[in-house]
């Protein structure tokens, strides 16, 4: 199996659409477990003002036959830094692309966005109910408190 980005110097994709997400076989497809990716410094651009937006993303998924290759995921997420989209669009687009690639048993994403115009916009989505018997820890991101 050859993974284009793995073990090679790789240029940052110019957009999320150009980014190549790779997957690898899950060595434990018969085991119910959670894999978590945390991106505490995710950035994108406001599609109206062009100003940067910042988020703390937490992606939890229960693999089926496939795992996402982590370097490819990092490059994909970094490709949003010059991409103009609303918080909701970024968060849901990432989740749907992972679901399409991996066909996981379960996936949830928490997009904890820093305030824009004085108001944080947090976005949450999941594919359905959590599988029975699965330990799914809290995402561990505190709600935004500001100075209030």
So which residues are the catalytic ones?
46, 53
Residue 65, number of CB atoms within 10 A of its CB: 12
What's the residue count for the chain?
A: 148
């Amino acid at each position: 199996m050859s993974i284009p980005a793995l073990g090679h110097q790789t240029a940052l994709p110019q957009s999320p659409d150009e980014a190549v997400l790779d997957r690898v076989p899950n060595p434990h497809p018969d085991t119910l477990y959670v894999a978590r990716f945390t991106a505490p410094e995710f950035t994108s651009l406001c599609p109206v003002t062009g100003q940067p937006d910042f988020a703390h993303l937490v992606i939890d998924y229960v693999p089926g036959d496939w795992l996402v290759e982590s370097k490819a995921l990092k490059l994909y997420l970094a490709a949003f830094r010059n991409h103009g989209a609303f918080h909701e669009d970024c968060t849901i687009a990432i989740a749907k692309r992972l679901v399409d690639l991996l066909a996981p048993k379960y996936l949830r994403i928490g997009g904890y966005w820093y305030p824009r115009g004085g108001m944080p916009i947090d976005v949450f989505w999941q594919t359905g109910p959590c599988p029975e018997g699965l330990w799914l820890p809290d995402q561990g991101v505190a709600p935004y408190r500001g100075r209030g």
